[in-house]
């Protein structure tokens, strides 16, 4: 019989979900539990730039690398730079997050770390088991963030997909006053297409050519568009800047994507739990707030299976928007343009954070073209029923 090492909890995957869960377990958890953290690489990776506008969920404000107090929106018929109070727009680099979190977690004697390939997760005798290239481990619970959401198992199977270039220019050209949330004035392809810009300094910024759509583009296409945008918007020829880092993302935007557990012993966390907000792809804040809830459940002796963080009506709003993007993209563009033109940006952010009350939501919907939503209510009626009938 093979030797199995036992733990109270195993965290399978040490990305932002795994590390933040470990952080909450150490600082707010039931205490004195043996924890194993397993990942194929325990090194910090500079491959993701996480942004969000409410810092309430993150463990420590010192994790924030950049912040802006204003956001820019550009469409064909509207351009605005708006203040965000009471929010800010915050940015965390994945490598600095990893370094800061692990330097705290490595001090905990309750945590073991193993760098290994995870081959399988199953359950036996009411224990969760992790099968890896370094042996088998078992625990009361495994919290896993290694299995991606199966996007194509959903009818609304969109993705937020992008390639980003972080560039450095010879001369300062960027306005650091505001990050650009969406520049929708770029040529539209399938779905919704926009440029997203984070100006870190006058001479350093990240440009992400982004789509909300079903099909990925060849890598060269995203990069050609970034090159062209730098020329058109900033008059930057290729020899005027250096690409210092590239970033690629494919984030699920699906109907009814929340899946909190594989079974009662194997709990999903982070992106694997379907925590990407369906209509925006933002996942970082919800990962932290949901992890904190998981730890509260453990502490109170309950099964650590969290509720869907989205109230039912917000799941329904997301489904309507995804349906319109997938089946009526021209209407979707008109909706985005009208949304930004007729509503204050802070109200939109509050709505996207699912913090609005119903009166505020009616006001927002009233400002938008109505017909596409009526069509979507009919077309997506089965998905809406699922959203309203699930937990
Ligand atoms: C480039 C990019 C930018 C993003 N930007 C934002 C943003 O601005 N705001 C926002 O809210 N969300 C953003 N997201 C979405 C979301 O926040 C991220 O995807 C986030 O990294 C999800 O964290 P996670 O821990 O769930 O998954 P991951 O960070 O992917 O972590 C999973 C971990 O599991 C490990 N692993 C996987 N398979 C195995 C295996 N077989 N064996 C061992 N280890 C394994 C991996 O090495 C990894 O460390 C972004 C996503 C991407 C890809």
This complex has an ipTM of 0.99
Distance set, CA 122 to CA 39, 144, 145 (Å): 17, 11, 14
Per-residue b/e over 310-328, b at no fewer than 16 CB within 10 Å?
A: beeebbbbbbbbbbbbbeb
Instruction: Judge if the beta carbon of residue 18 lies within 6 A of ligand 1.
Output: yes
Which of 49-63, 119-133, 287-301 has the least mean pLDDT? 49-63
Calculate what percentage of the chain has a pLDDT beyond 70: 99
Q: Which of 17, 19, 50, 71 to mutate to test the pocket of ligand 1 (most atoms within 8 A of CB)?
A: 50
Which of 46-60, 188-202, 258-272, 279-293 has the least mean pLDDT? 46-60
pLDDT class for 2, splitting at 50, 70, 90?
A: low
pLDDT for residue 7 is more than 90: yes
Asked whether the beta carbons of 88 and 52 are under 8 A apart, the reply is no
Instruction: Judge if the beta carbon of residue 270 lies within 6 A of ligand 1.
Output: yes
Q: Which of 15, 142, 160, 211 to mutate to test the pocket of ligand 1 (most atoms within 8 A of CB)?
A: 15
Sheet with 66-68: strands ordered across: 49-52, 89-93, 66-68
Residue with tokens 């509503």: 343
pLDDT for residue 113 is more than 60: yes
- CATH of region 4-65+92-149+257-299: 3.50.50.60
Tokens of 132: 């890896």
Which of 3.30.420, 3.30.70, 3.40.1010, 3.30.460 would CATH assign to domain 153-254? 3.30.70
Q: What is the C-alpha to C-alpha distance for residues 46 and 95, in angstroms, rounded to an integer?
A: 5
In this prediction, residues 3-10 reach a mean pLDDT of: 96
pLDDT for residue 1 is more than 80: no
Cite the residue boundaries of each domain of the chain with CATH code 3.50.50.60: 4-65+92-149+257-299
Q: What is the C-alpha to C-alpha distance for residues 69 and 353, in angstroms, rounded to an integer?
A: 17
**145 Cα: distance to centroid of ligand 1 (angstroms):** 8
Instruction: Judge if the beta carbon of residue 16 lies within 6 A of ligand 1.
Output: yes
Q: What is the pLDDT of residues 350-365, one digit of tens each?
A: 999 999 999 999 999 9
In this prediction, residues 319-345 reach a mean pLDDT of: 97
- Label residue 256 left, alpha or beta by phi (over 0 means left) and psi (-120 to 50 means alpha): left
Is the bond preceding residue 352 a cis peptide, omega within 30 degrees? Answer: no
Cite the residue boundaries of each domain of the chain with CATH code 3.30.70: 153-254
Ligand 1 atom at minimal distance to the Cα of residue 94: 21
pLDDT for the residue numbered 151: 97
Q: What is the C-alpha to C-alpha distance for residues 116 and 131, in angstroms, rounded to an integer?
A: 10
């Amino acid at each position: 019989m093979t030797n199995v090492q036992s733990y109270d909890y195993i965290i399978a995957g040490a990305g932002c979900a795994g590390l933040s869960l470990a952080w909450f377990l150490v600082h707010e958890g039931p205490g004195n539990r043996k924890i194993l953290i397993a990942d194929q690489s325990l090194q910090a990776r500079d491959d993701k730039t996480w942004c969000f506008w409410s810092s309430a969920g993150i463990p420590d404000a010192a994790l924030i690398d950049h912040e802006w107090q204003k956001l820019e929106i550009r469409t064909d018929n509207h351009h605005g730079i708006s203040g965000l109070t009471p929010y800010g727009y915050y940015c965390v680099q994945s490598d600095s997050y990893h370094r800061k979190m692990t330097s705290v977690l490595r001090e905990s004697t309750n945590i073991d770390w193993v760098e290994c390939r995870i081959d399988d997760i199953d359950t036996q005798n009411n224990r969760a088991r992790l099968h890896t290239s370094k042996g088998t481990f078992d625990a009361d619970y495994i919290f896993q963030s290694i299995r991606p959401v199966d996007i194509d198992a959903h009818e609304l199977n969109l993705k937020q997909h992008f390639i980003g270039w972080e560039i450095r220019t010879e001369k300062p050209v960027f306005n650091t006053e505001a990050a650009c949330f969406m520049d929708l004035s770029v040529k539209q392809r399938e779905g919704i297409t926009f440029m997203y810009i984070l100006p870190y300094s006058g001479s350093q910024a990240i440009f992400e050519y982004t789509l909300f759509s079903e099909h990925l583009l060849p890598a060269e296409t995203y990069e050609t568009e970034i090159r062209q945008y730098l020329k058109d918007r900033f008059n930057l020829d290729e020899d005027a800047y250096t690409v210092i880092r590239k970033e690629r993302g494919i984030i699920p935007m699906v109907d009814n994507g929340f899946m909190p557990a594989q079974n009662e012993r194997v709990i999903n966390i982070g992106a694997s739990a379907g925590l990407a907000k369906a209509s925006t792809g933002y996942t970082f804040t919800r990962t932290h707030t949901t992890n904190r809830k998981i730890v509260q459940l453990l502490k109170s002796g309950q099964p650590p299976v969290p509720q869907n963080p989205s109230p039912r009506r917000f799941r329904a709003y997301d489904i309507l928007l995804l349906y319109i993007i997938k089946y009526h993209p021209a209407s979707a563009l008109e909706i985005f343009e009208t949304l930004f033109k007729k509503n204050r940006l802070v109200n939109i952010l509050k709505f996207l954070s699912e913090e609005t009350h119903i009166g505020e939501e009616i006001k927002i919907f009233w400002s938008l073209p109505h017909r596409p939503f009526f069509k979507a209510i009919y077309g997506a009626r089965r998905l809406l029923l699922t959203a309203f009938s699930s937990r």
